[in-house]
Structure 1
């Protein structure tokens, strides 16, 4: 399956490319009063108003200071933007390459993948159900 490798707080993460429509550069975000802390605000995306969510804050990580990209996520007819540091590349990951560990016992982290060519590991994240609820 295709997964998008991206960086957040100097750590690498993977998310399924199936739910990602496209990746755009960060634009002006309009704050929304009384929204949850992880909702950064709204953007005008090609004439459509989209909610932008800080992925770091949603999954309980420190807020990043270098958000350069927004991943436009789609589920059915709805879209949301995920604020991240930057996309690195799109990878093909076999399901058996995803290793489960006890530290992934949160609803968002579903496993880890060892990236041999980069000599590092990346956490696999799935937040689709949360951001579209």
Structure 2
């Protein structure tokens, strides 16, 4: 009985040390990215994409997800990264908040895990420009942690133009 209490106490000490956060990891142009899993509604294969004329180049198009039309954003274009060919591994991460839902293209989804917040660094000098705006932090040497709340709240991503007839 005492051993069980000691083990339970040790486990509680580990969780008290640092807060962790669940993330979904994915690749964009041979770089590793993560986004908080609470914003990822689902992961879908990239198929049946419909291009939308007169939209910015980072709007890849729209898809129908069980009757809901979602805009698909190509973060590679948005972040000025090289584009890769669409393959079987290419996925759409459907991001969701109270205000907005949209999909982002990932060259591949590599997994999900928990990250200790104390492992997160402010950023890297190579992450400048538009990527820096949506940066929440960097974990280790190469995992860029994006701020999904900023992405979903950014009015620059919205395309809401009316065309006069």
Q: TM-score range by the shorter chain?
A: 0.7 to 0.9
Quote the offset at 1:37 in angstroms.
0.8
CA contact (8 A) 2:93 2:104 kept: yes
Quote the offset at 1:99 in angstroms.
0.9
How many residues are matched?
128
Higher strand share: 1
Quote the offset at 1:126 in angstroms.
1.9
CA contact (8 A) 1:59 1:108 kept: no
Where in structure 1 are there 5+ consecutive unaligned residues?
Answer: 115-119
Quote the offset at 1:130 in angstroms.
3.5
Structure-1 residue corresponding to 2:139: 113
Where in structure 2 are there 5+ consecutive unaligned residues?
Answer: 1-20, 156-165
Return the TM-score normalized by structure 2.
0.70
Q: Which moved more, 1:93-102 or 1:38-47?
A: 93-102
- Over aligned residues, Cα RMSD in angstroms? 1.8
Q: 1:81 aligns with which of 87, 103, 111?
A: 103
Higher helix share: 2
In 2, the alpha carbon distance for the partners of 1:131 and 1:40 equals 16
1:87-126 alignment, distance < 5 Å: 87-103=109-125, 104=127, 106-114=132-140, 121-126=142-147
Return the TM-score normalized by structure 1.
0.85
The structure having more radius of gyration, on CA atoms, is 2
Q: 1:65 aligns with which of 62, 81, 85?
A: 85
Quote the offset at 1:131 in angstroms.
4.3
